[in-house]
Structures are given as C-alpha cells and as structure tokens.
C-alpha cells in the first residue's frame, strides 16, 4: 500500500513540474516559424538601429515572444537569457550581454519565447537595468 502512495506522490510532482510556465530562445534563422510580424520587426530593428528595448508578440497558441534589442551603440554585443522568473504578480526576464564573435547585426536582438506572461512584464539585464517597451506599432 505504501508503494502506491509513493508512486502517486511522484506522479503528482511530475505533473506539477510540467505545469510550470517555461521559456525558450528562438534561433534567428528560424524566425519565420514565429510569425510574419516577428520577421517584419527583426527587419525594422536593422533599419532603425537605434531602437533599444523590448517588444512583445503573440505567436501560436497564445504563447508570447519577447524581442529584446540593444541598439547600434552595442552592435559588438549579443544577448543570452540569464533567468526567467514567473510569479502571479510579474514575469521577469533577465538577459546577459556578451561579446559577439562577429558584429554582424546593426542592432543585436534576442527572441525569447514564453508560454505565458503572468502579471507585469519586467525585462532587465544582470546589472538591474530595465529595458523599456519600444514604441513600435504592430
């Protein structure tokens, strides 16, 4: 009988772990899998290379894509996700700046997919700098 309770407990933990919202990073060469709006915005960032901040897009099945850009002043950098925290009040995305192997973008950006955004969205770097939402009109 105890064995069944242990298995039930393990299964419940696995189910709860699977229910947690998650994130992923979309590779730029797969941007066409996100949406046409993402492709248009990525091109917009390279033309308007001073744009620094983030923009949120709704993609398939209601999931979200957060595009964070650094602006041309940091074209020798690239971004990677450092941490994503979900709470009922806010979703916090923390990114890290790294030297880029080659400066091949006028405006470096990263595509961060989120299962959902809970509460307010905060996009920041590891130093605590908060990115502002861009004024891009979708």
User: Residues with Cβ < 8 Å from 63, sequence gap 6 or more?
Assistant: 113, 114, 115, 116
Q: Enter the tokens of residue 73.
A: 């002043």
Q: Distance (Å, rounded) from C-alpha 92 to C-alpha 125?
A: 10
Asked if the structure places residue 59 within a domain, the reply is yes
Greater confidence, 69 or 9? 69
93: which DSSP letter?
Answer: E
Asked if the structure places residue 132 within a domain, the reply is no
Asked if the structure places residue 2 within a domain, the reply is no
Asked if the structure places residue 135 within a domain, the reply is no
Per-residue pLDDT tens over the stretch 54-67: 999 999 888 999 99
Asked if the structure places residue 34 within a domain, the reply is yes
SS3 state of residue 118: coil
Asked if the structure places residue 17 within a domain, the reply is no
Asked if the structure places residue 27 within a domain, the reply is yes
Write down the pLDDT at residue 13: 52
Domain count of the fold of the chain: 1
Asked if the structure places residue 15 within a domain, the reply is no
Summary mean pLDDT of the chain = 87
Domain assignment of residue 105, given as a range? 22-125
**CA end-to-end span of the chain:** 58
Q: Enter the tokens of residue 4.
A: 């069944």
Quickly count: other Cβ atoms within 10 Å of residue 105's Cβ: 20
Per-residue pLDDT tens over the stretch 10-32: 565 555 545 556 999 999 989 88
């Amino acid at each position: 009988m105890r064995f069944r309770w242990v298995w039930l407990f393990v299964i419940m933990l696995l189910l709860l772990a699977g229910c947690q919202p998650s994130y992923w990073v979309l590779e730029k060469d797969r941007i066409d899998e996100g949406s046409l709006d993402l492709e248009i915005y990525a091109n917009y960032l390279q033309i308007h290379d001073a744009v620094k901040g983030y923009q949120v897009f709704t993609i398939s099945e209601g999931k979200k894509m957060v595009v964070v850009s650094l602006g041309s002043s940091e074209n020798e950098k690239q971004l990677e996700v450092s941490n994503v925290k979900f709470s009922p009040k806010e979703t916090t995305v923390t990114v890290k700046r790294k030297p880029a192997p080659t400066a091949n973008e006028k405006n470096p950006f990263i595509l961060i997919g989120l299962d959902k955004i809970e509460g307010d969205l905060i996009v920041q770097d590891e130093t605590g700098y908060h990115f502002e939402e861009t004024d891009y009109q979708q």
